[in-house]
Amino acid sequence: MLEITKKKDNLRVGKLQTKKGEINTPFFMPIATKGAVKNIIPQELLEIGAEIVLGNTYHLWLHPGDELIARAGDLHKFMNWNKPILTDSGGFQVFSLGARAKGRHGKSGVKIIDEGVQFIDHESGKKYFLTPEKSIEIQLNLGSDIIMVLDECTPDPCTRKEMEESVERTIEWARRCKRYFESKTKDKEGGKRPLLFAIVQGGNYKDIREKCAKELVEIGFDGYAVGGMVPIEELDEVVKWVVPFLPEDKPRYVMGIGRPEEIVRLVNLGIDMFDCVIPTREGRHGRLFLRKGDISDANFYETININNEKYKEDFTPVDAHCDCLLCKNYTRAYLRHLFAVKEPLALRLASIHNLKFYLDLMKDLRKID
């Protein structure tokens, strides 16, 4: 579980114990959506300091299937990653990919009932039905170290009545997830059992967020996430509402965030865990993160677009202060050339650099007096 070793105001530094090993908190999770971090092999993730990755339940269920992965040993063995893995519940993708299914197949097929959610695979058009119990079953088959409960992802904006009904369903689904999880893991000792995290919903309604947090804590989970679609400028306020209701000795996770300055702010509000596609997605487009100063400074980093003409004859490292594979061995001019000729190596080098930037940022955030 979570051992807090240092604290400064709301910022917490500690160690989270999982069945696959210890993770230093606060931490950032590279996204291994379909069982791979795009363009990067597991050995390279280890070299830049990754301690955990995030897999996507929705995608792995559809392709190649959780039962196939279970026959391979589990997701760790399947992708050759011997450190912890967090898997989401699949709920967010069910709702977010509905529009894509509608565009391709004429209807999204997303239908929510108390039992679960029906949806159409945005690629094949095949119908699926995901229940809280099924989500947990899939994640157990994947061998996840941290399992997320199934929640309802409400759109923004959302009326108060819609949000109240959604949160009631989220709480009930969390209760069902825990009941099923315990029935399947009751024979496993604490150190061999995955961790189960609940997700606090409620949009930008303060009292609904508080109600959701309190009821989930009463049910009891190994960790708690702040979920939901809220404007990024309102996220800090939402976190301030929720954190006081969460146990001090349990990890706190803000899902899908974010940019470096957002992570710094949220760590200082007491958040321990983060994931986001930004470092690898930006890297694939030639946008690179560079440190400029101490994280206490407002402008502690900058971004450059290596595709710009001015880097054509720039024979300096991308970041002289970085020791990643890219910065130790290649110049800005070379990387720009790779992007210009659409050489896949460009995507790999830029992604490694950006993830190293994020992982180094987390290391610096853990250095408190």
> Which residues are catalytic, by number?
88, 275
Burial of 36 (0-12, 13-18, 19+ CB in 10 A): middle
Residues 243-270 as b/e (b if ≥16 CB within 10 A, e otherwise) read: bebbeeebbbbbbbbbbbebbbbbbebb
Phi-psi region at 86: left, alpha or beta (left = phi > 0; alpha = psi -120 to 50): beta
The answer to whether the beta carbons of residues 37 and 83 sit under 8 Å apart is no
Q: Which two tokens stand for residue 96?
A: 């977010």
For residue 82, the one-letter residue type is N
Please tell me the distance from the alpha carbon of residue 20 to that of residue 85, in angstroms, as a whole number. Answer: 8
Q: Which two tokens stand for residue 156?
A: 């923004």
Task: Determine how many CB atoms are found less than 10 A away from the CB of residue 230.
Answer: 19
